């Protein structure tokens, strides 16, 4: 009787996400011009020079990264591994994916709504940062006292404080319009999506 190989089903969700992102990045290096119009997150507004928004872009944008440099994907994949691996070990593969993609979608929705209301210059959005920020918040909620050492400054601090500082930093940069090329409100939106999912899980246990 034939057997079914379930190794892929048992594979770490974090490792699978990293592999998919790296594979897509390889495709981008071949011809990014064919991927960006269809799969980046484009503004809702109908403006000259912009590709049209499509609903699948709420997810697909998270698998695209800046093809002109490797730092964008390296930092995102490092964050995905650093925060995602312990979170997955704690809550399991299915819940990790639910938390991650809820963060991705909420980050996209925030980016589509908030910057236009603030009069920011519109541009396509890409990158896994929204999902990574969601996992950062999940990590801080699950392991609030676990020590994290940021790159700058390299001072150990509890995870809850690390997440709070990052959230305040992103809020400040978003409101002031500094580093306009970075989707600060998408990062905050990713944290909101993660918080909603985790609160729902906790309420169901009450």
Number of folded domains that form the chain: 1
Q: What is the pTM of this model?
A: 0.89
How far, in whole angstroms, is CA 122 from its chain's centroid?
A: 19
Task: Give the closest residue to 111 by CA, choosing from 53, 63, 36.
Answer: 53
2: in domain = no
Q: Is residue 167 part of a domain?
A: yes
Determine, yes or no, domain membership for 177: yes
pLDDT level of residue 10 (50, 70, 90 thresholds): low
Position 42 in a domain: yes
**The two structure tokens encoding residue 121:** 């210059």
Give dist(CA 57, CA 133) in Å, integer.
Answer: 19
Rg, C-alpha atoms of the chain: 17
Q: Would 34 be classed as within a structural domain?
A: yes
| Mean pLDDT of the region 98-119 | 95
Q: Is residue 31 part of a domain?
A: yes
Query: According to the model, what pLDDT value does residue 197 have?
Result: 95
Q: What is the CATH number of the domain that holds 36?
A: 1.20.1540.10
CA dist 166 and 178 (Å) reads 15
- Looking at the domain assignment, is residue 1 inside a domain? no
Q: Are 140 and 159 in contact (CB under 8 A)?
A: yes
> Is 97 within the bounds of a domain?
yes
E strand or H helix at 168, and its extent?
helix 159-176
Other C-beta atoms lying within 10 Å of the C-beta of residue 71: 10
Q: Is residue 96 predicted with pLDDT exceeding 60?
A: yes
- Chain centre to alpha carbon of residue 14: 12
Residue 134 has pLDDT above 80, yes or no: yes
Q: 27 lies in which domain range?
A: 8-205
Q: Is 144 helix (H, G, I), strand (E, B) or coil?
A: coil
Give 125's DSSP letter.
Answer: B
Q: Residue 105: pLDDT band by 50, 70, 90 thresholds?
A: very high
């Amino acid at each position: 009787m034939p057997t079914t190989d379930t190794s892929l089903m048992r594979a770490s969700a974090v490792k699978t996400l990293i592999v998919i992102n790296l594979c897509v990045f390889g495709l981008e290096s071949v011809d990014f011009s064919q991927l960006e119009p269809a799969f980046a997150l484009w503004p809702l507004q109908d403006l000259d020079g912009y590709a049209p928004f499509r609903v699948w872009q709420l997810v697909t944008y998270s698998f695209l990264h800046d093809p002109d440099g490797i730092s964008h994907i390296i930092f995102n994949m490092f964050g995905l591994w650093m925060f995602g691996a312990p979170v997955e070990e704690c809550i399991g593969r299915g819940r990790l994916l639910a938390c991650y993609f809820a963060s991705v979608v909420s980050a996209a929705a925030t980016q589509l709504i908030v910057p236009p209301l603030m009069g920011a210059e519109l541009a396509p959005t890409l990158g896994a940062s929204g999902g990574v920020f969601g996992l950062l918040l999940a990590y801080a909620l699950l392991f609030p006292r676990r020590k994290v050492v940021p790159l700058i400054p390299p001072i150990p601090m509890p995870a809850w404080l690390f997440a709070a500082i990052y959230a305040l930093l992103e809020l400040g940069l978003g409101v002031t319009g500094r580093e306009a090329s970075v989707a600060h409100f998408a990062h905050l939106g990713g944290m909101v999506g993660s918080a909603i999912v985790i609160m729902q899980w906790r309420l169901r246990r009450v």
